[in-house]
Amino acid sequence: MRLSLITTLLLTTVSIVSADAPNDVAFGGIWLRGSKADALDHFPVGSHYAQQGGGNKQAAEWSRKLLGALRKQQKPDGKRLVDRMAADDYQPQASSGRAMVMACAINYEHSETTMAAGSRKIFAEIGFDLILCNFSDRNVVFTLPGRIQFIDLGSGVEKSNAMLTDLYETELISQFSRLATYCWSGNLAFQTVGITKISIFPEARQRFPSWMQEHPEAYYSQLVSSCFCDAVGVPVTPYSHGEEAIYYGLSEKLCDAGTLESKRIQDESATGSRFILKKPDYKLEVVIPGFQEAIAQRTELGSVAQYCAYSRLIVKGNGDAELSSEKYSGNVTAIMTRGDSLKPVWLSSVDATGKMFSDAASSLKKSKSPALRRMFAECAP
């Protein structure tokens, strides 16, 4: 049984683009989040399909397949993102004011075996983004996040890897191609809000899948961004340490890529990090203290399990002035068959986390704070 989910959401920009913008979007291929050294550890399957510094013929071939699928969808004078893609030999120029590069960014791959309705099932999942960057001002114009999932009976690493491979080879290209049909009108935001800090308590980190424990930022970045856009229509720029391989790789598409180096050095932080992307105008800090599960109800046929997630969201404005700092929680329920024992289920914790962030975004939007109202007005596209 396969279940595929896809979500399209418009994220952040500070560039105003007219509705009759030219076809000047270069395609940058398929990339993995994180550093080049992280690829094999965090993406044992995806590393065969994504470029992480080049040199992988199979990865290059999959990027070409994706580009071919996008080309088949193009329409002359169309207003969709895919219609604005430039010719293969086009090279954007940073000094021109518009240096647009689009790519597929793989955020995570994950599989989990659990008991459901008396059967052992595997949940395999891949999270990815369509990213459009303007390297003239070193900003993300927008991202369109997507998620694909495969559910099947069975267990074991071999089965899990086969399911992930199937998702990469049969779903990723078609789902990314759907994202690229987004109608890009050019009505974009004047200011940006982005995730600048993610703090994870040790007890929460222990609950993460092994691939997430060291670097959970990409996962939470996508989840928070998706929930905020879906709930209140406000884009959120992705969290970045600045030194991510994907942004280096995309910047190499520019014919004057060397001009970015001086700008990068000028923005060098006190810690020595040199950021390819500019920092957002409004800052969102996320704190994850932990998760809980409990039996909500017992019946003769089985039990109802409740999975809970908790967080604190801190919003900061100019000069790091704190605009809001509130605790939030979310919970979901799941039916346990008779004889099953209560145990942590990461996918249920994820559902609770998504509900929590959606409720948090709606709560912030309803706030009567003048500063928060101004932020939403300035950051809405």
Ordered domains of the chain (ranges, CATH):
1-188+241-245 (3.30.160), 191-236+277-381 (3.40.50)
Lowest mean pLDDT among 24-28, 278-282, 297-301: 297-301
Beta bridge pairs of residue 132 = 102, 142
362 pLDDT above the threshold of 60: yes
> What pLDDT shows up at residue 322?
96
Query: For 168-191, what is the mean pLDDT?
Result: 84
280 pLDDT above the threshold of 60: yes
65 pLDDT above the threshold of 90: yes
CA distances from 74 to 66, 71, 105, 127, 252 (A): 13, 5, 21, 25, 25
pLDDT band at 309 (very low <50, low <70, confident <90, very high): very high
> What pLDDT shows up at residue 22?
67
More confident residue, 264 or 310: 310
> What pLDDT shows up at residue 162?
94
Give residue-wise pLDDT tens across range 281-298.
899 999 999 999 988 777
Query: For 69-97, what is the mean pLDDT?
Result: 90
381: tokens are: 């596209």
> What pLDDT shows up at residue 53?
46
**Mean pLDDT score of the chain, rounded to an integer?**
81
Query: For 132-161, what is the mean pLDDT?
Result: 83
pLDDT band at 339 (very low <50, low <70, confident <90, very high): low
User: Could you tell me if 310 and 289 are in contact, meaning their C-beta atoms sit under 8 angstroms apart?
Assistant: yes
> What pLDDT shows up at residue 269?
46
CA distances from 84 to 20, 21, 72, 73, 99 (A): 10, 8, 13, 11, 13
Query: For 91-97, what is the mean pLDDT?
Result: 84
> What pLDDT shows up at residue 297?
79
More confident residue, 171 or 17: 171
> What pLDDT shows up at residue 189?
65
> What pLDDT shows up at residue 356?
95
201 pLDDT above the threshold of 70: yes
Single out the residue of 353, 354, 359, 345 nearest to residue 294, CA to CA: 345
71 pLDDT above the threshold of 80: yes
Query: For 156-181, what is the mean pLDDT?
Result: 93
115 pLDDT above the threshold of 70: no
Cα(288)–Cα(279) distance, integer angstroms: 22
